Structure formats: structure tokens, C-alpha cells
């Protein structure tokens, strides 16, 4: 995703509702000079790439994100990782760049993905003769 596409998607994700070209344009114009047709083209490109869906409303469209920003970030990380000829080394280097807060978020995410641990037998317990 290019810089302008990212700027547009940031607004679509932030507002978390179907948006018009005009709404995105007005918000972007607070930061830069940009034409209506440019924003319209960017949203059309994002639609063709599958990042937004659109629904006709009169003579215009309303655009809505297909996935979350978190899913987009995860896809970027997965793409970068899969392009490495040594994924383990890439992960070690990536973890080395993380702050402690980011490492804790990663540990939390791993716990969520792995699910709750199933309790095993108590190491100090001896089963009764009838198997209980």
C-alpha cells in the first residue's frame, strides 16, 4: 500500500463506518492540497485491490474497510517474514528491535492463540487403585 493509500485507509479504519470520497477529501485537505478526483481514484484502487468494499448511494459510493488495520499489519509482517531465507533469524532480529511493552504484547498474543492450557495430572498425586 502506498503512502496516499495508507493515508486514506487510516481514515476509513479510524471512522469505522462507510465513508464518502468527500468526507475523506475534507479530512485529507487539513494536511495537504489534494483533488477530489485523486481521492476518488485512490478509493477505486483500494476497492480493486480488495481493501475496501463499496455500495452505491445515489450517484456516489460509500466505502468501508474489508478488514481491520491490525489484520493489515499482520499481513505485512507475514509477507516480510515469508520473504526471508532464514525466518528464525528474521524473528530473532525483529524481537531484538521490540520494546519491552511490545514483547509483552507478543507474549499475550501467543497465550491467546495457544488457548488455555489443559490441566494435566498433578505431578505429586498418585492415582487411586480404581483409576481415580
What's the average pLDDT block by block, 10 residues per block, for the chain (132 residues)?
93 95 96 96 96 94 94 87 88 90 91 76 52 48
- pLDDT at residue 64 in the model: 97
CA angle (12, 16, 33) in 5-degree steps: 25
- pLDDT at residue 121 in the model: 55
pTM score above 0.75:
no
- pLDDT at residue 118 in the model: 56
C-beta neighbour count of 129 within 10 angstroms: 6
Answer yes or no: CATH 3.40.50.970 is held by domain 3-65.
no
Q: What residues does each domain of the chain span? A: 3-65, 84-115
Amino acid at each position: 500500500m502506498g503512502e496516499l493509500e495508507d493515508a486514506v485507509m487510516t481514515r476509513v479504519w479510524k471512522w469505522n463506518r462507510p465513508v464518502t470520497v468527500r468526507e475523506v477529501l475534507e479530512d485529507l485537505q487539513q494536511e495537504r492540497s489534494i483533488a477530489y478526483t485523486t481521492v476518488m481514484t485512490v478509493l477505486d484502487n483500494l476497492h480493486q485491490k480488495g481493501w475496501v468494499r463499496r455500495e452505491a448511494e445515489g450517484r456516489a459510493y460509500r466505502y468501508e474497510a474489508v478488514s481491520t488495520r491490525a489484520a493489515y499489519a499482520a499481513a505485512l509482517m507475514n509477507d516480510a517474514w515469508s520473504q526471508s531465507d532464514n525466518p528464525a533469524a528474521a524473528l530473532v532480529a525483529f524481537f531484538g528491535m521490540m520494546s519491552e511493552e511490545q514483547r509483552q504484547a507478543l507474549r499475550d498474543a501467543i497465550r491467546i492463540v495457544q488457548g488455555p492450557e489443559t490441566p494435566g495430572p498433578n505431578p505429586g498425586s498418585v492415582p487411586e487403585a480404581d483409576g481415580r
